[in-house]
A and B are shown apart, each in its own frame.
Chain A
């Protein structure tokens, strides 16, 4: 009985599952879809690594309601995000902006790909031009036979 009471108390205090609650869903499906897309890009500030769309935390619910409120008021997607960032800082953005130092983050991959590609092409061309090594020494011949035996 004690356990049952505890169980009920805990269940009322914090329900697991269900990030977006049924009562949050907007009647207009197009608007709701925009809300979901925006929510997936906003971080739940008190969670480990979840968007507000996935989180069960109270703060995440408040933010989801805020996003929907702004959408109903007629804001564009960018305006909604800017509204949230103004209040909570860029920490809330799961997709970092392109500005300032973040340019390094976004360009790191493409730059590295170009560098690695250039090195690889240089290597391949050198290999294609290289002359095969001189004939093997007798020990190497023996070793080769050893290796190829199986």
Chain B
């Protein structure tokens, strides 16, 4: 019964989304206030209906209702509750439902927080948001209905893919979707502004918080996925340039460009049409990402042929929304004349450089991701584009961004005095170069990657610190510190996010350059030396989990005076018939010790793979700092005031699901 109600709510949501698209659009065109005002209750109704549908599906998973096909193929009675719930979105149909629920959540938030928007703009934003809902609800109801029943219910389910039964991956998809779908707000604002034919400073201020929120969620989602890969896949890799990863990375890069260029629109009324284009592209890349992941066309051409309906449908959605918006853009962008005048050396031009580098680097990732498809279709060549290509083609852009960032961040708006910025940045530049040279001298004979990463990271972090420090004025330390503490949160957000990028750059380089690896066969009781630590295999035993069996190696590691135990496992999930590895990791400030248990050897003993991963935690800390910087900036006074019409805690009803 509940399942049928969920299905029905989904159909009702489609009807509501159709109304939400048509009524406010007509209302805005004919200046009918009541029609425009209808957008708000419709957006809320859509959120409630989709919230109910999602709750119904969650109910089916939690109660293990095996008459529902989706529950059978993705759940099992023995599975822990957390994974019964995360199983709801651990599959195509359910994740699509989460996608549309989040879409409706953003739509309703725009209705709630959009009190200060002009009526026509708000109506049009909500209408565009509704039209995206129409497309995805149609997609779900026609090709991927999560509520389909089975005629004969089996006794038990086939279990969720064991790799997904993990806390990191349980929350990775919701954050990614919050990011992907959050960019739909930027898109809706862009299309609504194109229909209105007007982009001004206020528009820049309205669109930026949504972009910033989406970017923060994407940052967290990508970092969670990367962290999961690090501890779960068994050899400590954290980024693979997999098409599915690139699918989330491309919108992240464009969103990062967008949230910078929106500042120029807001403060200087320039870069308007470019910012509109970025907003369209950001959501376009989200849709491309959805297409890549859902259709499987890039990972394997054959998966696409297996389910052509889905792939073709998403391609149509992508074509309609991106193509339609670009046509509208071509017709209207000419009307958006820039007003601000600024010198070639100015904060504005720094942000232009940031935008050029970020969007071209995204273009490189895009070309690399689709190249195998292009080459096969056009040239008949079956080839691969893997990490070696991306490392070679993408890294120079990050190096350029890291070098330019502290300069650009210090430049003044309108017309900057370059000498002033250069003087202030002398100290971090000297520190970075000295540390890089020292690292190069100490490591002797290894690749230059580590020292370069160290120098770049220090330069960016130091630049962010100087940026904040320089804002305090020159009248004595006490006054200076007080002034710094009182700086707007947007300034702190900027410095923290930039610092986070520096930390991330350093950590990536350090992990790639300075990791230590050891592969060997160990007998129980035997020990070996791992870069100055003694690692001893005490025993190998069988242990039983709630829905898996594991072979567990018990190791003791002696590091200086400290002795600790690590227990890497090899697990078998009988229901899914699938093995996984659980690495034994000792997380530390300076390094992670990472042990993996391999197969039993024919001659006795066990294969053991061990790593020392320097500065691994700095990578996640850097991502967390970037997200924190985004949140700080989001909480800046000018957005809180701008959102002054909001009511108390409207999102509480949704959080309960």
Contacts and interface: CB of A to CB of B under 8 A. Distances in A.
Interface of A: 3-4, 6-7, 10-11, 14-23, 25, 40-41, 43, 48-51, 54, 89-96, 100-102, 105-106, 108-109, 112-113, 116-117, 120, 123-125, 127-128, 130-133, 143, 147, 150
Nearest to A132: B341
B462 interface: no
Contacts of A54: 235, 237
A50 B520 CA distance: 22
A96 B371 contact: yes
A74 B552 CA distance: 41
A100 B596 CA distance: 42
A94 B344 contact: no
Contact of A17 (B549, B572, B596): B596
B417 to A, nearest CB: 15
B197 interface: no
9 contacts: A6-B572, A7-B574, A10-B572, A11-B551, A17-B570, A51-B386, A96-B383, A102-B371, A113-B357
Contacts of A41: 386, 388
Given A131-B341, A150-B641, A22 B359 contact: no
Contact of B242 (A49, A90, A123, A132): A49
A7 B549 contact: yes
A109 B381 contact: no
A14 B293 CA distance: 27
A3 B549 contact: yes
A103 B374 CA distance: 13
Interface in B390-413: 392-393, 397
Nearest to B241: A49
Contacts of B581: 16-17
Nearest to B544: A3
B367 interface: yes
B499 to A, nearest CB: 26
A96 B551 contact: no
Contact of B572 (A11, A43, A91, A100): A11
A66 B381 CA distance: 25
Contacts of A6: 572, 574
B598 interface: yes
Contacts of B542: 4, 7
Given A90-B382, A112-B360, A127-B270, A96 B389 contact: yes
A18 B270 CA distance: 54
Given A3-B549, A25-B519, A101 B388 contact: no
Contacts of B486: none
Given A11-B551, A49-B299, A93 B577 contact: no
A116 B257 CA distance: 14
Name the residue among A3, A7, A41, A102 with the largest chain B CB count within 10 angstroms. A7
Contact of A16 (B270, B379, B384, B580): B580
Contact of A124 (B352, B384, B387): B352
A120 B353 contact: yes
Contacts of B352: 120, 123-124
Given A16-B234, A89-B382, A94-B387, A109 B360 contact: yes
B348 interface: yes
A91 to B, nearest CB: 5
B385 A96 contact: yes
Nearest to B597: A17
Given A15-B598, A95-B389, A116-B359, A43 B384 contact: yes
Interface in B338-369: 338-344, 348-349, 352-353, 355-357, 359-361, 363-364, 367-368
Contacts of B434: none
Interface string B266-304: 000010000000000000000000000000000110000
**Dominant SS at the B interface?**
mixed
A49 B388 contact: no
B599 interface: yes
A134 to B, nearest CB: 10
B439 interface: no
A116 B360 contact: yes
Given A49-B242, A91-B383, A120-B352, A150 B642 contact: yes
A101 B379 contact: yes
Contacts of B359: 116
A94 B384 contact: yes
Q: Which of A22, A90, A108 has the largest count of B CB atoms less than 10 A from its CB?
A: A22
Contacts of A89: 382
B656 interface: no
Nearest to B379: A101
Nearest to A14: B579
- List 10 A-B pairs, minimum CB-CB distance, nearest first: A94-B386, A18-B598, A95-B388, A15-B599, A150-B641, A109-B364, A17-B581, A17-B234, A16-B579, A7-B549
Given A96-B383, A127-B338, A10 B577 contact: yes
A112 B243 contact: no
A41 B387 CA distance: 8
B599 A94 contact: no
B57 to A, nearest CB: 28
B483 interface: no
B85 interface: no
Point out which of B353, B363, B397, B638 has the most chain A C-beta atoms below 10 A from its C-beta. B363
A112 B200 CA distance: 29
Contacts of A48: 242, 299-300
Contacts of A109: 360-361, 363-364, 367, 393, 397
Contacts of B201: 147
Contacts of A22: 519-521, 598, 601, 607
Contact of A11 (B300, B386, B579): B579
